[in-house]
Amino acid sequence: MSSATTEAGVGGIRRSRRRMLFEDERWLAMALLSPTILLLGLFIAYPFVTGVMLSLSNARVGVPGEFVGFANFARLWNDPIFAKAVGNTFIYTAVTTVFKLALGLWLAVLLNRHFRGKALVRAFILLPFIIPTVLSTFAWKWMFDPTFSVLNWTFRTLGLIDTRINWLGDPDLAMLSVMIVNIWRGVPFYAISLLAGLQTISPDLHEAAAIDGARPWSRFWHITWPLLLPVTMVVVLFSVIQTFADFQLVYVLTAGGPANATHLFATYAYQVAIGTGLLSEGAAISLAMFPVLFLVVIIQLLYIRRVETR
């Protein structure tokens, strides 16, 4: 009888300790966050650390390699293709971001109005963003084909051109084509995100300004845009990160060609690491974009906080 009582008492103490443990917010927070921390460690921290270790070695496919310090990064300074990829990445990101923001904001303003079939139009605009990147890019690659290009056929029918245009074979046109596809795919993300921000703005503000005699452009510039700016900065932040590290779209369209004219950080790193087997140099190219992205993120986050405080 006494042993049973003792076991019951011990079990009660354990249950009470366990209850007290989970009532402590610190232990409860750790218990809830531990699965997320484990996933982040496996899929983000571990690949990042492995990439850093590879970039500091002379590893190749099948060869572990030895520690060489910053030799791989020093070699990149004398690589003309890497310099071209750096310039392409900045131009590609800047141009596409500006056009996606302008077109996305224009579509968001139009979709914020009341008209028949508004829900259907919103769903239709999301199609470029919903379709898998590789699938839609293959369709665009066929449209840019010099022999079977629907664009060339259309331009020749309208009398705008006399000869076929090799969209992906000319270095300048290839970069322009890649930008067009990126803009086409990214505009829906901007439009829907900015539309959500527009719907949080009270119509009473516009009605009051209209009564005071403010014109539509003045109402947009002094009411809509300041209230929409925090949402816009967050959307631009995510877009810049995704565009700066873009791979699928460029690789399917041109694979970095012609003559390395459309290489970005990601495509050139893939070509060096997988195409030639130089894993260490490919890792160094990939990590070269990290300081730039980190700086861009910090600047934009500080600006977002400043805008929200204002």
Is the predicted pLDDT of residue 156 greater than 90, yes or no? no
Is the predicted pLDDT of residue 92 greater than 50, yes or no? yes
> Between 98 and 200, where is the model more confident?
98
Is the predicted pLDDT of residue 241 greater than 70, yes or no? yes
User: Which residue stretches of 245-278 are H helix?
Assistant: 248-253, 265-270
In the prediction, which pLDDT does 234 show? Answer: 86
DSSP-derived 3-state class of residue 60 = strand
Is the predicted pLDDT of residue 12 greater than 60, yes or no? no
> Between 100 and 26, where is the model more confident?
100
In the prediction, which pLDDT does 81 show? Answer: 92
Is the predicted pLDDT of residue 10 greater than 80, yes or no? no
Per the CB < 8 A criterion, the answer to whether 184 and 124 are in contact is no
How far are the Cα atoms of 123, 143, 155, 211 from residue 158, in angstroms, in the given order?
A: 32, 17, 5, 47
At residue 23 the predicted structure's pLDDT band, cuts being 50, 70 and 90, is low
In the prediction, which pLDDT does 62 show? Answer: 77
Is the predicted pLDDT of residue 22 greater than 80, yes or no? no
Query: How would CATH label the architecture of 75-309?
Result: Orthogonal Bundle (1.10)
At residue 249 the predicted structure's pLDDT band, cuts being 50, 70 and 90, is very high
Is the predicted pLDDT of residue 118 greater than 90, yes or no? no
Is the predicted pLDDT of residue 16 greater than 70, yes or no? no
In the numeric block, which tokens belong to residue 280? Answer: 């260490």
Average pLDDT over residues 103-120: 85
pLDDT digits (tens, 9 = 90+) for 177-195: 999 999 999 999 999 999 9
Q: In terms of C-beta density within 10 A (0-12 exposed, 13-18 middle, 19 or more buried), how is residue 212 classed? A: exposed
Average pLDDT over residues 201-226: 82
Is the predicted pLDDT of residue 1 greater than 50, yes or no? no
Domain boundaries, the chain: 1-55, 75-309
Average pLDDT over residues 226-253: 89
Radius of gyration over alpha carbons of the chain, in Å?
A: 27
Average pLDDT over residues 295-304: 80
Per the CB < 8 A criterion, the answer to whether 196 and 116 are in contact is no
